[in-house]
Amino acid sequence: MSDLTKKDVKHLMLFAGRSHPQLAAQIASLLGTEVVPSRMVTYANSEVYVRFEESVRGCDAFVIQAHVAPVNDWLMEQLIMVDALKRASAKRITVVAPFYPYARQDKKHAGREPISARLVADLFRAAGATRIMSVDLHAAQIQGFFDGPVDHLYGLPILADYVRQKYDLSNVVVVSPDAGRVRTADMWSDRLGCPLAIIHKRRDPNVANTVAIHEVVGEVEGKTCLLVDDMIDTGGTICLAAEALKVKGAAKVIAAATHPILSGPAADRLNRSAFEEIIVTNTLPVDPKVNIPKLTVLSIAPLLAKAIKAVFLDGSVAALMNEQ
């Protein structure tokens, strides 16, 4: 092999922040490589220092970070990693953010509000990222916030295959917890070949952060109801939805969501809820202190590994999704 040919050989390198090392290790194993050794230090005043312990010149870099609480700390760490790679002459830098930070702030609901999801995209671009890879964006329009390619992956096939193997689909009804998730529920319905129901909810205008469930649209009596959403944060809305389904005569209620944020009272609410099982992926790490016996965690690593390989080989990520 000539020297010129050696220089032209593409070189994939994986880099991982400190928020979810288990996921990074799973992805590296599936790709037959290792996460690049890095020195990361948080100083006494909370500033972050990053240094990679191998040359990254000319590499195709994939920077993995899970944006669990404290989100701002992990976001800043990932930005610093991207900046370090840019200044060390990495050829291409792909941000792998399985759960996109600030995704729920994708538009202005009132005057004098930020569009933080756009700001995050701008920060990644300014730091030196050339591509973003994420799973189940809260709003598809976020793909247009970044000035470059965005690979929007879906956790639905992984979650749906688990449901298909465990439950009798002839008695399953897919349920959207609110009008905003109807498109997601419709995709589930098509995937599983199950009927669709919708929970109509309205927030009480007189009580802040209070959700009132009004009615269930669809036939759920005697059925196994599968509530689907992109994330579970404090669990309030989805637990109220489960109660509404039980009141309407549902035989079983299960939930499937890609991102297990599980903030604050989530564990207590889910443990006391009507759910028989809550199925999530490991886009975010679940704190070992969070004890939810009903929780089943599936690995998103195979999907991310395939997508990373497709990007590295200049293949089609869209074809990967079509295969799913």
**CB count in 10 Å sphere of residue 58:** 17
* Secondary structure class of 208 (helix, strand, coil): coil
In whole angstroms, give the CA distance from residue 13 to residue 61: 5
Instruction: Put the strands of the sheet holding 60-64 in their side by side order.
Output: 12-16, 60-64, 92-96, 131-135, 150-153
Contact between 162 and 174 (Cβ < 8 Å): no
What CA dihedral angle connects 119, 86, 78 and 142, to 10 degrees?
Answer: 30
Is 289 designated active site? no
The values of phi and psi at residue 217, to 5°, are -100, 110
* Secondary structure class of 25 (helix, strand, coil): helix
From the list 91, 107, 108, 201, the catalytic residue is: 201
CA angle 20, 92, 69 (to 5 degrees): 25
Q: Report the greatest alpha carbon distance in the chain.
A: 74
In the numeric block, which tokens belong to residue 185?
A: 């529920």
In whole angstroms, give the CA distance from residue 116 to residue 196: 33
- Please name the residue that has the structure tokens 């969501």: 257
In whole angstroms, give the CA distance from residue 23 to residue 300: 8
In whole angstroms, give the CA distance from residue 79 to residue 213: 40
* 3-class SS shares of the chain: helix, strand, coil, % to 5: 35, 25, 40
Active site residues: 201
